Amino acid sequence: MTGSYHGWLTAGIPQVSRIIPMTPLKSSCRVVGTTSHIVRHFFSDMTAEASEESIIWTPSPSLKAGCALSRFIEGLHRKGFGPFSGCEELHDWSIRESHTFWREVMEFVDVRGRGDVSKVWGAGVGPTPLARAWFPDFRLNVAENLLREPSEALAITAWSEDRLRRKISRRELREMALSVARHLSERGIQPEERVFAFLPNIPEAVVCMLGTAAIGATWASCGTDYQVDGLLARLGRVRPRVFIAPVSYLWRGQEVDTTAILQEVVRNTPSIEHVILVDYLGTVREPLTFDRSISRETLKDILATKSTHVELPTFPFSQPLYIMFSSGTTGKPKGIVHGAGGTLLEHKKEQIVHADVRAGDVLFYQTSTSWMMWNWLVSGLAADATIVLYDGDPLIEQGTILWRMADQERVTHFGTSAAFLGALEKLGVRPGDSFSLEALRTILSTGSTLYPSQFDFIMDAIKPMWIQSISGGTDIIGCFGLGNPLKPVVRGQVQCKSLGYDVRVYNSSGVAVVGEEGELVCANPAPSMPVCFIDDPEGEAYRQAYFSEFEGVWRHGDFLEETEEGGLLFLGRSDATLKPAGVRVATADIYAAIHKVSVVREALAVGYVPPGTTSEKIVLFVVLDSGETLTDAITAEIRETLRRSNAFYVPAVVVQAPELPRTSNAKLSELSVKRILKGEDPGNVSALGNPHSLDFFKAEGLLRVRSALG
């Protein structure tokens, strides 16, 4: 898969949204009185600190009154907690009274299980300063939580790029998942043993994940966008007993046969004892042979025997549920083990309390099974929402297929990425002109920084609505920065910190700062922090990954700024920031500025220190519109556009590239290019979705930079 965009984009009460003419309002006052007063006044004056031009959306009275966050606040108030005069005060309380907060959230979002939740955590366990034994007296089954209320209500709607529509009820989904659970148990798969799936974003992936979770086994997956080397690297770390894969899959209208991939996987992964073949295109190929004896079944045959009345066992809160992999672009990817209870609790908190996902809502996220947002999306079943899956190229039908799907399926929450929105804008696609999108209440974006101008694009070309720019990571299988249905949206900002997470910005001295750029840290324990890493028995890799920079706090590796009004400005990875003339520059700022140059489709900026010098120079690689060649005039336009934003953004050299390296979840791999320019190995190329893109940088790109700068 090649091209500037296509390959990396596979990565209640009606709300009245409006763009408002803003005038300065009075600052928030502490609210006292009855719970009805809380709903009426909470955050009513939160626009005080933001400038008139920066606020692009404000929540309607009906959204404020009907959202789950208001109900949560009311419930706290009835129990004698609060009152809270604003978002920051509520967040501060969630940190200061962490035991109470998490216990109240467990009850509010209805995490189901057996046992006592009064003890929120026990003594510290594990290798890190923030490790805790969360809810040690409570047991649960994640599948039971996601398969709740089996009925004819819609659980999954699935589309593919050929516009095939499939619908699965909650009753049908439960039956299928329990059939998989029965099959795995009959094959002797035990709790905590590992199942690995190489699958597109199709209902069968959800079914198999739920069947795995139902018996307490551990799930790992990646999408069919992965190259064989990347797939084998992950399989070698996971060492699964069960491997689930498609016989074929669809990409850009073509059926892709996976026979050779499956044979190579089995040949090189000796732990595999059982293979489950998924054949959703209806073209089973016989015979599919392997070079050693293993059991082999088709999912179709497994599902033919229905299992309905099964008593699901419960497991400890920290039971390993998922193995996720970091991008791994600078070395071996981290194999991160996430616990069942922490994952479920965090996802329900984010979806229900922050994103206002309600029972009966329709939740879509543009993702593949490689990315943590797939796991996040599947958790929407526990919020009693219908989840929508899309398999294939999101830019077919001139970039409109996802919007056609959102319109027809009445999607309420549309999740995507800045890369996809950027592609639409460059292609001139205006979904709001072609589709009513009547049910759509909010758009969520993560994976990379959502530029301020992209907020404008959403409001103008799609629909005026609540924009939730969210940010977190695979490392916590959730978010540090989230949406808030009670606050205005400030152009370019993440609305608020995640409740219960002591998110701070540290300067280089380890001091928390506001209004200054610095490192994202989390200074308190949180339930979705990893249980452990695989192949890390003493926890040394875990400690080094997050706790080596600042004593006792989690350093995430993101560069950001906290604003006076409590918003967050994410500026890119901290290890990819630039220092021309000793001034720290965030690559996200450069990308936001160059977005105004219409001919530039993508850009990647890295720092380069020419031999014999000590001053870092900015090297900018650009992908231009099809058929365009970098000329002196285009280079001058790029430099002048960047200069108008900040003189320190101006690159020393601009180089045209055919394609930029990206990880499987569409993030630019700046570090691999930086290492190449330094004459070093680029790192773990199997972490890239398009490792072939590095060939240009190793040869022609490196030559051009050295020719220009020495």
Is residue 286 within 8 A of residue 195, CB to CB? The reply is no
Query: What integer is the mean pLDDT of 517-537?
Result: 94
Q: Tell me: the pLDDT tens digits for 11-57?
A: 433 333 323 233 222 222 323 333 334 333 343 334 444 555 699 99
User: Per residue in 670-694, pLDDT tens?
Assistant: 888 988 988 888 877 777 878 899 9
**pLDDT for res 254:** 84
For residue 38, what are the contacts with CB-CB under 8 A and spacing of at least 6? 31, 70, 73, 74, 77, 82, 83
pLDDT, the chain, mean: 87
pLDDT at residue number 41: 39
| Per-residue pLDDT tens over the stretch 191-249 | 999 999 999 999 999 999 999 999 999 999 999 888 788 889 899 999 999 999 998 88
| Contact assessment for residue 622 and residue 657, using Cβ atoms and an 8 Å cutoff | yes
pLDDT for 33: 33
pLDDT at residue 136 tops 70: yes
The share of the chain scoring above pLDDT 90, in percent, equals 63
Pairing of strands 154-160, 335-339: unpaired
Residue 668 per-residue DSSP state: B
Q: Which residue has the higher pLDDT, 53 or 598?
A: 598
Residue 438: its pLDDT value, please?
A: 97
Q: Is 518 in contact with 504 (CB distance < 8 Å)? A: no
Q: Which CATH class is domain 15-141+318-356+441-571?
A: mainly beta
More confident residue, 331 or 540: 540
Q: Give 348's pLDDT tier (boundaries 50, 70, 90).
A: very high
Predicted pLDDT of residue 696: 94
Q: How confident is the model at residue 308 (pLDDT cuts 50, 70, 90)?
A: low
Specify the 3-state DSSP secondary structure of 394.
Answer: coil
Residue 556's pLDDT is 92
Does residue 230 contact residue 664 with C-beta atoms inside 8 Å? yes
Q: Contact at 8 Å (CB) between 485 and 356?
A: yes
* Position 541 pLDDT exceeds 60: yes
Q: Are 66 and 12 a contacting pair, CB within 8 Å?
A: yes
pLDDT value of position 591: 87
pLDDT at residue 331 in the model: 52
pLDDT at 641: 92
User: Which residues are CB-neighbours of 503 under 8 A, at least 6 positions away?
Assistant: 480, 481, 497, 520, 521, 522, 568
Portions of the chain given CATH number 2.30.38.10: 15-141+318-356+441-571
Q: Which amino acid is at 339?
A: G
Are 302 and 179 a contacting pair, CB within 8 Å? Answer: yes
How are beta strands 413-416 and 386-391 bridged, if at all? unpaired
Q: What is the pLDDT of residue 280?
A: 76
* 297: β partners: 276
Structure tokens at 258: 């996976």
Q: What is the mean pLDDT of residues 385-389?
A: 98
577-709, CATH topology level: GMP Synthetase; Chain A, domain 3 (3.30.300)
- 3-state secondary structure string across 275-312: EEEECCCCCCCCCCCCCCCCEEEEHHHHHHCCCCCCCC
Give dist(CA 704, CA 59) in Å, integer. Answer: 51
Name the band, by pLDDT with cuts 50, 70 and 90, for residue 159. Answer: very high
What pLDDT was estimated at residue 283?
57
- Note the pLDDT of residue 28: 29
Q: Where in the chain do CATH 3.30.300.30 domains reside?
A: 577-709
Alpha-carbon dihedral sign for residues 563, 604, 498, 409: positive
Angle at 287 between CA 284 and CA 289, to 5 degrees: 120
User: Bridge partners of 251?
Assistant: 254
Mean pLDDT of 547-556: 91
Q: Give per-residue burial for 408-445: e unless 16+ CB within 10 Å, then b.
A: ebebbbbbbbbbbbbbbbbeebbbbeebebebbbbbbb
The Cα 288–Cα 302 span in angstroms is 18
Q: DSSP string of 471-486?
A: EEEGGGTEEEEE--TT
Whole-prediction pTM value?
Answer: 0.84
- Please report, rounded to a whole number, the percentage of residues in the chain having pLDDT higher than 70: 89
pLDDT for 86 beyond 60: yes
For residues 427 and 252, the model is more confident at 427
- Backbone phi, psi, residue 566, to 5°: 90, 5
Q: Per-residue pLDDT tens for 485-514?
A: 999 999 999 999 999 999 999 998 899 999
Q: Which residue has the higher pLDDT, 583 or 298?
A: 298
Q: Picking from 37-51, 144-158, 587-601, which range would have the lowest pLDDT averaged per residue?
A: 37-51
Mean predicted confidence (pLDDT) in 272-287 = 78
> For residue range 457-494, what is the model confidence (pLDDT) as tens digits?
999 999 999 999 999 989 999 999 999 999 999 999 99
